[in-house]
Amino acid sequence: MTHTATWDPVTLEVFRNLFYSAAEEMGVTLCRTSFSPNIKERRDYSCAVFDGDGNMVAQGEHMPVHLGSMPLSVEAAIEHVPMQRGDVVIVNDPFCGGTHLPDITLVQPVHVGDDQAPTFYVANRAHHSDVGGITPGSMPLSNSIYQEGIRIPPLRLVHKGEVLKDVLDLILANVRTPVEREGDLTAQIASNRTGERRLIAMTDRYSVDMVTSYMGHLQDYAERMTREAIAAIPDGEYRFEDCMDDDGQGNGPLRIVVTISIRGDEARVDFTGTCDQVQGSVNAIYAITLSAVMYCFRVIVPFAIPSNRGTIRPLEVIAPEGTLVNARLPAAVAGGNVETSQRIVDVVLGALAKAMPGKIPAASYGTMSNLTFGGTDPETGEDFAYYETIAGGMGARPNADGLDATHCHMTNSLNTPIEAFEHTYPYRIRRYAIRRGSGGRGRFRGGDGIVRELEALCRSQVTILSDRRVHAPYGLNGGEPGTSGRNTLITHGEERELGGKASMWVEAGSVVRVETPGGGGYGQSEHS
């Protein structure tokens, strides 16, 4: 198909918003039709539109950690499954296009007219609150991916418009909450169909040739804007390192090192020097590292640009295989997506702070403080499983304080409202408050973290997968670090510190308190 060579900025902006709106509407469908609070309330999902070659054209304002990783799921689906009209491919395998097992991606081809080959693709990814594994919530302190849940390579879930019951039954037989999982998977199917309808409507109005042409122009535009932002950075090499506290298996601290080389309008981001992959579940696969790097370079562009393939073109990302940032099978990876991704952002922004003085904020709280629990509800006799991430303090900016109690960087989810939480689960929220004074001091202070206390109303298994409990978020330009986080179990009035990573059975009446870190401060305090 011949694409138009000419384009104009007004039409480009029209198509930018059309593609973005299609992805956003896919997200609305997924949110409104899903079953689990994790998707419906927290909105832990992403939706995106892709061209006929599988290049991402637009993503909704959803999860940054999916920026560079969801395209690899689409690539894996195209490579492994010949997709026909009406097919939907499912995948969650981290070593074949996924990130970690709870993130399930559905990829659907979009055929326009009588075309035999897909004209476009649409895809969405949702974090399911349980996909099996050794603990409820599927975010365990594991030492192998085989302990983390059901692993799904790219395969058809829907064929010619019909759900393949044997495939669905196999998945549902391996999770603790099959009714909820089936509801959420059905919502994901509906979401992709929304995207399909919107893209076909675009071609009806503007023609296939024009739509596909502007998909290419939009990627080129994002590439040009990213190159301009890189070209404004002085040529040179900028190095930074930080660490994860531990892997939950007795290994730590875990060093992450990056060297960013700027040459003209291109950047080489090299993680050589990072520690080897570890036994615990904080290993990140390459897709996570790519997403984190892509996010960091997207945010240095001084105005909003679309999230698409063009952003990554000026970047070379080197992540040595077998390290914490590019783990090999059968590494445990549940926490790499949520914890290590945050630290990768910290080190990349730390290096860019040297390259762009006065432009980059101090470190934010640097952990998603993942909390999962599950058991059997004594009132209904049904199994339940819950997952949430807990926000913290944003790092202070060069010209302003950091924000309190907000999700930063690789997560863009919401909290679960207390009313929805207590209605759904045999738990009670005892306290939910800003952790005053936890932000780092400086000319501009870091944002404060959160205190969240949950009381179990029945016997259940609780797992906490968090970081920044030992090594605090760094300050910049003389600013002080934020206060590190803390996890506590309260039983019969007695408090026991849990560390950053813990899994245990608790009895009714036990309280889990999670105190998240504050952000680092920026600049020398006038009172120092």
Residues 317 and 275: their CA atoms lie apart, in Å, by: 17
Q: Which of 5, 24, 85 is nearest to 306 (CA)?
A: 24
Predicted pLDDT of residue 4: 53
Average pLDDT, the chain: 95
pLDDT at position 1 over 50: no
pLDDT band at 5 (very low <50, low <70, confident <90, very high): low
| Residue 152, amino acid | I
Do 520 and 475 form a contact (C-beta atoms < 8 A)?
yes
- What's the pLDDT tens digit per position in 55-111? 999 998 777 777 678 899 999 999 999 999 999 999 999 999 889 999 999 999 999
pLDDT, tens digit, 9 for 90 and up, residues 465-505: 999 999 999 999 999 999 999 999 999 999 999 999 999 99
Look up residue 244 and give its amino acid.
M
Tokens of 167: 């495939």
User: Which has the minimum average pLDDT: 232-241, 259-268, 404-413?
Assistant: 404-413
Dist. CA 512–CA 460, nearest whole Å: 12
| Cβ 507 vs Cβ 456: under 8 Å | yes
Handedness of CA 191, 195, 196, 200 (dihedral sign): positive
pLDDT score of 69: 81
Higher pLDDT, 68 or 153: 153
pLDDT tens sequence across 101-144: 999 999 999 999 887 899 999 999 999 999 999 999 999 999 99
User: Which tens digit of pLDDT belongs to each residue from 295-304?
Assistant: 999 999 988 8
The tens digit of pLDDT for each residue in 359-415 reads 999 999 999 999 999 999 999 999 999 999 999 999 999 999 999 999 999 988 888
Distance CA 462, CA 485 (A): 18
Tell me the pLDDT tens digit for each residue of 321-355.
Answer: 999 999 999 999 999 999 999 999 999 999 999 99
Flag whether pLDDT at 528 surpasses 60: no
Which ranges of 62-105 would DSSP assign to H, the alpha helix?
Answer: 70-80
Q: Where are the beta strands (DSSP E) in 344-473?
A: 370-376, 383-388, 427-435, 449-456, 460-465
Amino acid found at 317: V
Query: Which is it for the CA torsion 488, 491, 493, 495, positive or negative?
Result: negative
Does 2 score more than 50 pLDDT? no
Cα-based torsion angle of the residue sequence 502, 466, 412, 359 in order, rounded to the nearest 10 degrees:
180
180 CB burial (10 A radius; 0-12, 13-18, 19+): buried
Each domain of the chain, given as residue ranges in start order, spans 9-222, 361-528
Tokens of 147: 């302990």
Which tokens go with 471? 């090594």
526 pLDDT tier (thresholds 50, 70, 90): confident
The answer to whether residue 527 scores a pLDDT higher than 90 is: no
CB < 8 Å & 24+ apart, contacts of 240-243? 240/347, 240/348, 240/350, 240/351, 240/353, 240/354, 241/273, 241/347, 241/350, 242/343, 242/346, 242/347, 242/350, 242/363, 242/471, 242/474, 243/343, 243/471
